[in-house]
Each structure stands twice: as C-alpha cells, then as structure tokens.
C-alpha cells in the first residue's frame, strides 16, 4: 500500500478512534461543500497580499502570547478577508506580526506530514510529495516558488524518505525489506541494510514468505542520530496485520530486540524510536490487546521491560526534547481534551500545555483537529484544520501556535492563521517546523474547491534570534 492510500486510510481510522475515545466529533464532521470561501465576517483587509519578497517581513518583535492556554476563553484573531496569494506572494498579519508566503505553485504538491523536517541540513533543498502521482520530489530552494522546473533535483519512489542529519545530499528510505540511502545530487542509491540477509530477521522472512516489508507506518522515526531504528515486520496473511516488532542498531548492524505479535496485540498505528534512542514507542490503537495493550506505550530497545502505558489512546503526536533536553512526546490526550507533554519515562505525569475545549454546547467550543511538530528541541508547533462550514469561535480555531516545552512553565504563542479548509485528507494543515526552528511550513487550499485536494505549501520564516526574544 502506498503512502498516499495508507495515509488516507489512517486518517479515517484515527478519526473513528477519537470519536470512540472521547465522544467528540471535532475533526470528523460532514465533508464540506466545494467552492466555499472563507467567511471573514466584518474583518475586511483585502490589501494584505503582498508581492514576492526575499523571505523576511515577519516582525522581529516578540510573538503574541496566549494569556491562558488552559482556558477556552482567550483573545481571538478571526480570519481576515484575504485573496489567495499567487506563487511567491506573501500575506502579512499585522495583529500577529508574522508573514506567510506561498512557496509552491503546483496543486497537489505538498510536504508529507507534520512530524518531519522537509528541508535538508542546510535548507538548500526541500522534499515534497506529489500525492496525485505517489512520488517524492526534491527541489532546490534557490528561488521561489520552489517547484520551478529548473529547481527539480530528482524524484524518489522509496517509502518514508527522511533527510540525513549530517549529509545535506543524503536521504534515507525504506524499500520493502531494505533500508536504502540516496545521494539526491549524484542520483545514486545504495542498500544500507537488507533484512533478508540478517542472521536474526532473515530466517524469519524465509520461514514466512508472505512477510514483504519493514515499516514504521509512516509516522515513527529513528533516533535523531539515525543510530537506533524500530520497525514493524508486516505480511500479507491475516489481513496484512503487523507480525513482529524489532529494533536495529545501525552503528553495530545488530538486532537489539525482537517481539512476535499475537493477533490481538497487533492493532498498532505506528512504531518508532525516542529522540535519543532510549525507548521504543508504540502507538497502539484504543482496542489493542495482549501483552502490549491499548494506547501509547514505551518499552526498552530489547523488549525486555514492561510495556509502560503513557496514555489510554494514541492521537496525533510528535516526539521531541523539552527545554532541559529530556525526551518527550506531545500529543492530544483524548481523556482530558488537552494537548499534553508526556515525559518518555515510566510512571511520569503528563504536563497540560493547552486545552482543545471540545464543547458543542459552548459558544467558545473548538471544532477542529490538530497535528503536532516537535522537530526543534524545546519547542513544538500545534496546528489546526477544520471543515469550511465549521464556525470560527474558539481562540484556537484556524490557528497555528508555537509551544515552549518547559515542564515547569509551558507557554503558547499565536503564530499564524489557517486560511485553508479540510474536506479530504491531503487538505489537512499539518504544519511542521524545521529542526533549527527557522521555518514553518504547512498545506493550504485557501478554502477554494474544498474536497478536491488542490493544495499548495505556505511558509513562515521565523525572525532571527526568536528564542532569545522569548526568553527576554
């Protein structure tokens, strides 16, 4: 199954799981009618679209802080009536002091997901997904829009492509039962690991010829240094269920742990490593059973520790590091309606970061869905998506926020408004921050032709030294 079709399927399953877990219908309402324009109410400001610029009218002033992120009642910044920007054009929000720029011209061309940095190490290239064709494309970023024909470097057909943390030309990917690397400039692909030849995994594959791929289900990640990897070994039998979990130490080329999954404990959304490689993280569904059990779990690399439960359900999330360098995962807690920081430690209490305030009876009720991006140590981005017909009433509606991951004093800042509306999977905002915190990108259709997935990419260039400004 391709990344395109599987992500659509996972989106439907995730929405169903949220309804069952929390009784909310925030992100799974009826698909909006097409050709809906953003309802801007009385907020008219048609002169905000600006011509192409060199990337930096975002204010150097401090971001606007959310007074009480754990309250449903905070200052709101409703959408203004702004025409869809053309390629290279920018939209400046004087209220928030930030500028968003359209950096992709082609429709149906966007980043893959919120959890990954789509730029390479020196940000000279960007990895985008042509979800209509099912291919990944690498473009140079010398000029905007990025997807000009002369900027195209190469096209990739691997699964789960991720930039190398040290080599700006190298992409890691998965091809069936192999981990591969591609030098995107030289156009050369090499096999980093063939698990059919591994002394531990190889005999299992030989004994079970239906086993056809290793996967992290498109959401799990290797450790930051790419040393430790966690995989699902998947077969075609028993309705394509997950059959084994295992960990691989790339540096030693050694299988550290192997766990055979029974059918009742194979209902797993994704699997990956913690940022520093200390834990395997298992995104179990709410109805997963067996020894692993339901919800979000962690286990040591050898699968010899208990499967510690962090949350009763797995929702949209990302792993990262807090301001003290500790491993965490930031996720929607469907039991509390909070976005919470979960320490990747057994028996540690989660830290509430912000409330989603799903309350259909309240005039302040939130009606959207969220995604999380924690690529930059100490911070994360939480973005929203919403149906075109949903009212904009809560402070978090149609908003992208920046969250400081300080366990003792977490803070939330308004960052940018979401002008797109969601009627199909690839129209979800899914904002992602770069590893160095200099850029945030997301997908939008500007609420035009909702449901047709005619999306492109917007980019917000963060001001220089913004972390120091927040500290002041």
CA distances 114 to 26, 229, 299, 369, 440, Å, are: 19, 20, 24, 13, 10
Chain segment 175-229, per-residue pLDDT in tens: 999 999 999 999 999 999 999 999 999 999 999 999 999 999 999 999 999 999 9
Closest CA to 296 of 280, 306, 309: 309
**What was the pLDDT predicted at 458?**
98
pLDDT tens digits, one per residue of 267-286? 999 999 999 999 999 999 99
Residues 311 and 328 placed together within one structural domain of the fold: no
Measure the CA–CA gap between 350 and 311, rounded to whole angstroms: 9
Q: What is the pTM of this model?
A: 0.90
Q: Evaluate whether residue 170 is within a structural domain.
A: no
Write out residues in the chain with pLDDT < 50, as ranges: 10, 12-47, 53-56
Tally of domains within the chain: 2
Do 68 and 11 have their domain in common?
yes
Model pLDDT, residue 427: 98
Q: How far apart are CA 448 and CA 147, in angstroms?
A: 21
The Cα–Cα gap between 273 and 245 comes to 12
Shared domain for 349 and 297, answered yes or no, is no
Please tell me the predicted confidence (pLDDT) of residue 282: 98
Residue 140 lies in a domain: no
What DSSP designation does 409 have?
S
List, in sequence order, every beta strand (DSSP E) within 250-364: 254-260, 268-273, 280-284, 296-299, 308-311, 317-321, 327-333, 338-343, 351-355
Judgement on whether residues 305 and 395 belong to the same structural domain of the protein: no
Q: Are residues 295 and 340 in the same domain?
A: no
Alpha-carbon torsion, ordered 157, 161, 167, 168, to 10 deg = 70
Could you tell me if residue 128 is inside a domain?
A: no
- Give the pLDDT of residue 59: 60
Same domain (yes/no): 277, 205: yes
Residues 328 and 472 reside in one and the same domain: yes
In whole angstroms, give the CA distance from residue 419 to residue 81.
10
Residue 175 lies in a domain: no
Report residue 295 CA to chain centroid gap. 19
Residues of the domain holding 434: 1-114+317-472
Give dist(CA 352, CA 337) in Å, integer: 10
Residues 99, 101, 105: CA angle, nearest 5 degrees: 170
Residues 6+ apart with CB under 8 A from 300: 257, 278, 279, 280
User: What CA–CA distance (Å, rounded) separates 114 from 430?
Assistant: 5
Which of 339, 234, 345, 326 has the alpha carbon at shortest distance from 281?
Answer: 345
Based on the fold, state whether residues 102 and 215 are members of the same structural domain. no
In a domain, 133, yes or no: no
234 close to 26: Cβ distance less than 8 angstroms: no
Instruction: Note whether residue 158 is domain-resident.
Output: no
User: Which one of 315, 331, 350 terminates a domain?
Assistant: 315
Residue 443 lies in a domain: yes
Q: Which of 284, 315, 346 is the last residue of a domain?
A: 315
pLDDT value of residue 4: 58
Residues 209, 65 within the same domain:
no
Specify the residue for token string 């997807």.
Answer: 147
CA dihedral 138→144→145→148, nearest 10 degrees, is -60
pLDDT of residue 354: 97
Q: Determine contact, residues 103/458, Cβ cutoff 8 Å.
A: yes
Which of 274, 300, 315 terminates a domain? The answer is 315
| 299, 327: one domain | no
Q: Are residues 388 and 465 both part of a single domain? A: yes
Instruction: Compute the Cα dihedral for 210, 212, 216, 221 and give only its sign.
Output: positive
Q: Give me the residues paired with residue 268 across strands.
A: 284
45 lies in some domain: yes
pLDDT of residue 471: 85
Task: Indicate the DSSP class of residue 363.
Answer: T
Determine the Cα–Cα distance for residues 216 and 271; give it in Å rounded to an integer: 5
Q: What is the DSSP string of 161-211?
A: EEE-SS-TTEEEEEETTEEEEEETTTTEEEEEEEGGG-TTHHHHHHH-TTE
Pair (299, 371) in one structural domain: no
């Amino acid at each position: 199954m391709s990344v395109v079709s599987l992500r659509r399927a996972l989106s439907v399953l995730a929405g169903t799981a949220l309804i069952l877990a929390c009784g909310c219908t925030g992100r799974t309402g009826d698909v909006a009618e097409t050709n809906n324009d953003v309802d801007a109410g009385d907020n008219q400001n048609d002169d905000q679209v600006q011509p192409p610029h060199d990337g930096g009218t975002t204010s150097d002033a401090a971001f606007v802080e959310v007074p009480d992120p754990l309250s449903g009642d905070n200052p709101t910044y409703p959408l203004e009536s702004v025409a869809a920007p053309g390629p290279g054009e920018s939209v400046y929000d004087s209220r928030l002091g930030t500028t968003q720029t359209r950096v992709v011209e082609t429709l149906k061309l966007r980043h893959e997901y919120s959890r990954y940095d789509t730029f390479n190490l020196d940000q000279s290239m960007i990895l985008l997904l042509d979800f209509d064709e099912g291919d990944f494309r690498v473009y140079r970023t010398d000029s905007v829009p990025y997807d000009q024909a002369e900027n195209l470097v190469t096209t990739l057909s691997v699964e789960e492509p991720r930039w190398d943390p040290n080599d700006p030309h190298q992409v890691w990917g998965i091809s069936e039962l192999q981990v591969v690397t591609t030098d995107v400039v030289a156009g050369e692909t090499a096999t980093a690991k063939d698990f059919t030849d591994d002394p531990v995994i190889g005999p299992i594959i030989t004994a079970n010829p239906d086993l056809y791929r290793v996967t992290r289900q498109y959401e799990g990640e290797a450790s930051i240094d790419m040393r430790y990897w966690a995989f699902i070994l998947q077969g075609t039998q028993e309705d394509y269920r997950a059959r084994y979990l295992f960990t691989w130490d790339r540096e030693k080329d050694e299988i550290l742990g192997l766990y055979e999954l029974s059918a009742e404990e194979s209902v797993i959304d994704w699997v990956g490593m913690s940022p520093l490689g200390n834990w395997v993280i298992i995104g179990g569904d709410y109805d997963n059973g067996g020894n692993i059990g339901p919800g979000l779990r962690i286990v040591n690399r050898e699968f010899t520790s208990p499967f510690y439960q962090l949350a009763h359900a797995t929702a949209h999330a990302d792993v990262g590091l807090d301001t003290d360098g500790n491993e965490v995962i930031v996720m929607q807690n469907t039991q509390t309606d909070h976005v919470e920081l979960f320490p990747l430690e057994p028996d540690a209490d989660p830290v509430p970061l912000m409330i989603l305030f799903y309350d259909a009876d309240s005039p302040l009720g939130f009606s959207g869905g969220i995604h999380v991006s924690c690529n930059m140590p100490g911070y994360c981005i939480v973005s929203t998506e919403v149906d075109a017909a949903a009212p904009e009433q809560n402070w978090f509606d149609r908003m992208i926020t920046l969250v400081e991951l300080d366990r003792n004093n977490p803070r939330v800042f308004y960052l940018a408004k979401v002008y797109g509306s969601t009627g199909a999977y690839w129209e979800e905002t899914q904002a992602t921050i770069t590893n160095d915190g200099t850029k945030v990108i997301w997908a939008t259709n500007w609420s035009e032709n909702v449901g047709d997935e005619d999306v492109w990419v917007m980019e917000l260039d963060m001001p220089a030294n913004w972390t120091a400004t927040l500290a002041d």
